[in-house]
Each structure stands twice: as C-alpha cells, then as structure tokens.
Amino acid sequence: MSYCINPHCPKPADPANANNRICRNCGSQILLQNRYRVLKQLGQGGFGNTFEIDDGGKTKVLKVLTENNPKAVELFQQEAKVLSQLNSAGIPKVEADGYFTVLPKNSSVPLHCLVMEKIEGVNLEQWMEVRNYQPISENQALNWLKQIVEILALVHAKKYFHRDIKPQNIMLRPSGQLVLIDFGAVRQITTTILTGIILK
C-alpha cells in the first residue's frame, strides 16, 4: 500500500499506487524524501493528519500539517525542534532530518511533515476505559508519577513547557514505560513567563 498525502488527491488510497514513486491520480510524490512510504492514515485533527509509514522496514509515524497559517507552522516547527533535542524512552524519538516539507503537484502551499517513532501501546484514557475506570494501586500510581516527573524534568531542563498533559497524551508501552506525546502546544520558557510566575 502507498498512500498519497496530497489533501486534494482524488484517490489517496489507490491500491494501484502500491510500488509507485509518483501518485497516478494527482502526480504528487508518494515516496517521500526518497525514503518514506506512507502505508495508511491513522488520524485526522483540526490542524493535521497522522499516518503510519515504512522507513526501510521500520514502522514510524508521520504527522502532516494541513493548516498553513504562520502560527500553526511555527508551533509545528517548534514541536519538531523540541522532540529532536530530547532523548528519552518517555518521549517519541525524532531524528535530526525528521522535519521536512513536501510540495504537492500543482500546489504552491507546502505540506510540513514530521517523522517520529511509532509508540506501541495505548494511551491512558484507552487503558482506563478498558478497565472500566477502576482505581489503580498505590504502587502503580507512584510508579507512573515518578515516570512523568522524570520526563517533565527532561523537558523543563531544555527550557520548555508541555502545556497539554492529559491521559490521551500519555502512552503506555507494553513494557510499562509511559511516553508523553503531542508536543504541539509546547512553549519555550521566556523571561516574560518567568516574570509572570514570580509576580503571582
């Protein structure tokens, strides 16, 4: 399977594109960066889409920004920068060249793309739902709290705030390791913010 990420493609999931480098329906690149082949769409949000991709036999996730206003682009680029700087089992890995742009055929608006590690497992909202929202043990609560604090300490050490911590943004790997995802709302700690906190 090869999926076309051009938002205006009339048939993005065309099976006939399986081994193509160019989409037969819209003429856009299918083999992104001569490396990534999009396998299927995973999700769709207000500002972008997520896809499962193949990178030389390794499954990863591709986030594509569909909103092209300057603020959305700035936040997307900031997410790419933050994730590429952080190295932890509790944060999705992004390689230095994980951020790039793609220009669909007959379009003057580039698509901003970010490739990251695919986290196996479920988010904590899904995990709690499966368990009918039963309470967790004290040991498990302390273990999870310790993991989240360690992840946030790493983020804060790089002078960033996550700003969107919720069960849907915390993945649970099969190993029991928590992973904080969705760094789209991350904000760099600035003098203005710190002054505001101190004054309060």
Question: Quick check: 79 and 151 in contact, CB under 8 A?
Answer: no
Which tokens go with 153?
A: 């300490």
CA–CA separation, 158 vs 87, rounded Å? 11
Using alpha carbons only, how large is the chain's radius of gyration in Å? 19
Check: CB of residue 186 under 8 Å from CB of residue 161. yes
| DSSP three-state, residue 34 | coil
The token duo for 42 is: 């995973």
- Residue 105 token pair: 């055929």
Q: Annotated active-site positions, please?
A: 164
Count of positions (residues) in the chain? 200
Quickly tell me which residue has 């990534």 as its tokens: 36
154 CB-near residues (< 8 Å, 6+ apart): 86, 88, 90, 91
